[in-house]
Chain A
Amino acid sequence: MTAILAAIRLALRAIVRSKLRSTLTVLGILIGVAAVVIVVALGTGVQAQVLGQISNLGANVIFIFPQSTQTSGVRSTDVNRLTEADGRALLAEATSIANVAPFSSTGAQVIAGDRNAVTQVMGVSRSYFPVRGFSVGKGQMFTESEELLKAKVVIIGETVREKLFGAGDPIGQYVRIGRYPYRVVGLLTSKGQSPFGEDQDDRVLMPIGSFRARVVPSPPGRVQQLIASATDERTVDRAVAQINAILRQRHGIEPDADPDFGIRTQAEFRKSSEEIVGTLTVLLSSIAAVSLLVGGIGVMNIMLVSVTERTREIGIRMAIGASAADIMTQFLVEAIVLSVIGGVFGLGIGAGVIKALGGALGWSLALPMPAVIAAMATSTVIGVVFGFFPARRAALMDPIVALRQE
């Protein structure tokens, strides 16, 4: 124990003696360790962020959309058979479904006075709001009679409000879509970006009856999508099975035939986004790990220089009784101390950067404990591995030759 402490003290002195060189060597390890720690923390942070946004989007949301079918090699052209009646049937019959909303949308130009905005115009029902987690922040929700009467009313998102009305109050104002004017009755509470980068405030909502009558003329009851919410995050799978059974029956689809609808849940989005983030993290960590490797080679390089430069010192030590093992230990410990110093400072700087990044992005980023342990272990291992060859070279020196060295 005391021998190891003495070796560490000796190593520290040798390191302090050539400050500039040691600093540069340490820098290599430092950058590597910091890079690894930051990348892993960012990966974990992005993961958490995406998952948070997905659950903010509604973890139990289920999207039902039409899908073209193939019969005897002929792809059907009239694909969409989803209706509001389907939605009502699901709500009535599927026990694991809490709510269903019809949904249709199109890109359209919306005009107010001398301003205009190109946005998504969506036909929805009042149930759309709780299903997708929207709420009306200012003004009012559509009334039931407005829905029945296909009234010309809209609720607009924050982005649309800003484009059309600037600082003004939109409630009670009129916007024109196509040939018809619509009265703005409400303003959505801002939701910001979705995990997929979509601006969730860039939308105009109107009763789906109004949408079918005036924006995209379509048969009564027809919807582009049905958006359902399961009763609980855990009942999503059961709800999907129920939807499948009910819609197959309603659409008269044989048990082994392809359905004319598709179902997608947030679990799938979640899985794919987890995969993407995971792959990215692995990729970036490997790049960071390469920089750690380069740092290790830097340690080896400097240790080789150091051994060559201190040949005479090695000779003296051997002459007065140092064994090969003593010399080996001395240089190995020096390499390890160099790398561990790099590791510690790398962790410190990594932690600082993570904190600054977390603050700047508004994410809660934490120094990942496994990464901390891995970084420390790696830097020690680097010291041993890359210090071994130079240390061995020192230990195998012939004291006579070493002493003669000027």
Chain B
Amino acid sequence: MALEEKILTANIGKKTSSDIDSAMQGGAYEALIKALTKMTPEQVLNEVKISNLKGRGGAGFPTALKWSFLPKEKKKIKYLVCNADESEPGTFKDRLIIENDPHKIIEGIIIAAYATNANAGFIYIRGEMPLGAKILEKAISQAYERHFLGKNIMGSGLDFDIFLVRGAGAYICGEETALMNSIEGKRGEPRIKPPFPASYGVYGKPSNINNVETYANVPAIIKNGGNWYANLGSKDTPGTRLFGLSGHIKKPGIYELTSDVTVRELIFNYGGGILGDKKLKAVIPGGSSVPVLTSNEIDVEMDSAGLKKVGSMPGSAGVIVMNETVCMVKALLNLIKFYEHESCGQCTPCREGTHFLRLIIEDIEKGEGKEGDLEKILSLCKNIMGRTICPLGDAAAMPCESFVKKFREEFEYHIKEKKCLPETIKMTTVF
């Protein structure tokens, strides 16, 4: 059974939680003071390493390992980047932290700066989050006032500044290297890797990039120790995660739980069950880019080991629930339209492939599907997956492949009968 530890949401719910005084009453910056006064950078890095904190942006890369890729030389200019470009469909966890507890993020970034000797940080916030940007801006200026940012922070010798950068509305800018291009004022296109950001990042300088939620976990780890964190919940992905429940669910919202919670528990124990007490049809467990689960595949834990068993992954932990009234063809069309629209257009398979996929799926949805279309979808997915510069191609192909494979009969019905399954209802939007 999952733990309901409050690490990220402890301060949330108070009226003025985004204000520095309120945050400090709740313990904000205590970890920073501890790190700066009682620990060496190596100790901080080691503590994060012990905690086994995994990145919360979707790929689940070990955070301490990522930090350790930055060059150790003090003289080298290094940047930290906080990815606040949360735009994965079904995901709304970072927004909660940004709007309600921005100091937790700032504190996490400064601790990371201390551990990695970084010179400056960038918070890249999604353009569609004006409120979040306003709150972060205020929080950063408050942190400067209290001397948590600036020159010689609290007499520790650490100089660190944070700059807030607003995006202009492109999903692809959530990809780390596209985000860096965007910070530099360039077109938001992913870069080829290698070189990786740790050697060639923002403005060509070694950079480390973490998700908002990842940084927000750091203060608690420093405060309570890496061992404490490593033993929370799942061995595979320790600590708590913010699970975002949406779709056909009675109590949608953000739930802070350890990753050993199963999909079934999430939906039925925490989410209150399926909307309208209908039958569960499908679940997308980690934001729209991950393979879909059928109602038979939900007795697995929400960590990477658990979801791997059913061919999916935890991604950004945005859980989208679909009941029996959902037409899977229409749902997939909605998804692929999104990816077609958001493909940056630089590499061929993603640019053209998402377009071709959308046209075929649209045809099937309209009742104009042809025999062989499903094979074509699968072969297109094969030609996109793993053949693009960045994971957007995979993100588009994975749901298409899993929808068609797992709900093949429904797609075939659509092609043959030229209409939706009788139990489904036409909807304008799914999510």
A and B bind: no
A interface residues (Cβ-Cβ under 8 A, vs B): none
